[in-house]
Chains A and B, each alone.
Chain A
Amino acid sequence: MKVIYKVTDIVLLGFRSLTTHKVRSLLAILSILFGVWSVIAMLAINEGARYEAEQSLRQMGTDKFLIQSLKPPQDRGAAQQTGRALYYGLTRADHRRLSESLPGLLGEVAGHETRKFAQYGTRLVPVRVFGTDPSYLQLRGLRVAAGRFLSAADELRCRNVCVMTQSLARRLFGYEDPLISVVRLGGESFDVVGLVDTPGGSTPEVPADLVSNLVYVPASTERTRFGEYSILRTTGSFEAERVEVSQIIFHMADERAVLAGAKIAESILQREHESPDYEINVPLDKILQLQRQRRLWNIMFFAIASISLLVGAIGIANIMLASVTERTREIGIRRALGAKRRDITVQFLVEAVTLTTGGGLMGIVLGFVVPPIVQAVLKVTAILSPPMLMVPFLMAVAVGLVSGLYPAMRAARLDPITALRHE
């Protein structure tokens, strides 16, 4: 009991001596506050960036991976030239072989893409026409915003129907209702039956202005109306390309099957293709990679922000040393009246820790305004999480202990007689 009274009293004593130097204490608290705040801000911004990057990867789902045809580097000349058309990428044979040999495969869907112009009234917009099956909706993780996606009947009857991204619809139709409109694609008329959100994730070799200009049509329709050739207009010349399959999505049983399947697919394709005219895209892998990368960034940001905490710590140590010198006499008096060295140490440590804890608490409170401020000023997402608030706070407390320890011990080691004579 006696000890508890004494400890709480000495803690109170430590608190009270802070109020006698209000401005000094406030400045010390501020230095810690900004340190804590900058650590929180850095972590929150980094977390926000990670979340945004992951969000687009997660859209397709971590239980899937995707293989895309890729135009090989021209200088290698490895791509097969058939006439004047550049022939490259995944083949129907690849598709069949992969579907048969991947363990844990739940489903798969392929698509073929051609570049066309979409025309509505006087508006002419370059688009990517993507011929695929109804199951693409689910496997690609698309969200239907209006109307419906392609159906089995569309596929069977080779209907001239299409689904397009909302942003494309806005560009083509403006304020008119796309779902009752007819759009012309490469000389054919198509009924618009649905709208989807623009899919996230990486789209290699697609010019930025084409990323969201996507039109989905039934695979049968696409094959019969447009074929496998794309005509690309480049400055001064025409260039023809032939690709059998543009993209295949594999839906696997679990994440282990995803990673294993991607490896098997890689080795099969390596055998069949002379040049790297395909790309295997594993969102799960990317997410893991992203997380590793972010962790590294976190450590770096953390280190940088910690420097401001360190500066705060030096400030606290400085203030505490000044306080010890200034109060040498008081220390002598207390020692003469029965204070043990430990009592003096605790008193000064409590002062230092109170300063930094106060700064830490205020830093946490101000930390809550990080996301809105960052959003408003930097236009990026910042996300807070409990550890992000706790870690800098605990660091602040630790800073108090560490920076207060030396001054406190110095105070405690003073010889009482010398201290009493001080001044």
Chain B
Amino acid sequence: MKELVRLEHVHKMYPMGRSTVHALNDVSFVVREGEYVAVMGPSGSGKSTLLNLLGCLDRPSSGRYVLGGRDVSQLDDPALSEIRGQHVGFVFQSFNLISQLTVLANIEVPLFYQGLPRRERHPRSRELAGQVGLGNRLDHRPAELSGGQQQRVAIARALANDPLLLLADEPTGNLDSRTSMEILDLLDELSRRARTIIMVTHEDHVAGRAHRIIQMRDGQIHSDIDRQRPEPSG
């Protein structure tokens, strides 16, 4: 499969007073299209930092990041925003829906910033809501939904722009085990349809859904186990 993500000797340092925190320390790996990767590791080991970097929310302090064949490690803010809008989908632990907006409007936000006209946005977000099983909740506000439903909306939103890369930072962290299963099933389903997924998690049974598990420790990759090559998409 084609190479989608390539990190080469990536470092991320945060200045903290006089000292610096080495959140990522010489991280290199490659993710191919269609892979389903779980990133694990103790708290503070740099998982979120890594994911933010992969999602172009941040830039490496040094090293190279190539996304879809394009070196994005030194792009400026507008260019990074453009890449996030076009090629990245985020799913957060705390859902991060916009509370004033309806389900439909929330799903539309990425399309909105891509400049898609309203009449094209509507059917697309309606279809996505249907895919995550919320076709009958289109006009609800996030506060009127359960946690699992909110996370479904977030996943639909992350898929709206048909991203190269779906990034999920502890997507089941705020959910009970039954709802977690539903969300994981949804991610499995996406993976089967050749969506590339990188997911941060603390839990083994969650990571067990992925094909590959990267263990982080102190900002470094401790282990990188390929459990099963992704099946070529049909």
Q: Which residues of A contact B (CB under 8 A)?
A: 2-3, 5-6, 9, 13, 17, 20, 329-330, 332-343, 416-417, 420
Contacts and interface: CB of A to CB of B under 8 A. Distances in A.
B161 interface: yes
Contact of A417 (B57, B81, B86, B115): B57
A20 B110 CA distance: 21
Contacts of B109: 333-334, 337
A336 B82 contact: no
B115 A6 contact: yes
A215 B197 CA distance: 104
Nearest to A420: B96
Contacts of B77: 340-341
A98 to B, nearest CB: 79
Classify chain B's interface size.
20 to 34
Given A337-B85, A341-B77, A3 B115 contact: yes
Given A333-B96, A337-B85, 13 more contacts: A6-B113, A9-B112, A329-B96, A333-B97, A334-B98, A334-B113, A335-B81, A336-B57, A337-B109, A337-B110, A341-B78, A417-B52, A417-B58
A110 B27 CA distance: 106
Contacts, number: 69
Contact of B98 (A5, A333, A338, A340): A333
Given A6-B113, A330-B98, A338 B57 contact: no
B84 interface: yes
25 contacts: A2-B114, A5-B116, A5-B118, A6-B112, A6-B115, A332-B96, A333-B97, A333-B98, A334-B109, A334-B113, A335-B81, A336-B84, A336-B96, A337-B109, A337-B113, A338-B82, A338-B161, A339-B81, A340-B78, A340-B81, A341-B81, A343-B113, A416-B57, A417-B58, A420-B92
Q: Residue among A3, A6, A330, A338 with the most chain B CB within 10 A?
A: A338
Contacts of B110: 337-338
Nearest to B81: A340
Contact of B117 (A5, A329, A417): A5
Contacts of A420: 57, 92, 96
B115 A337 contact: no
A205 B116 CA distance: 80
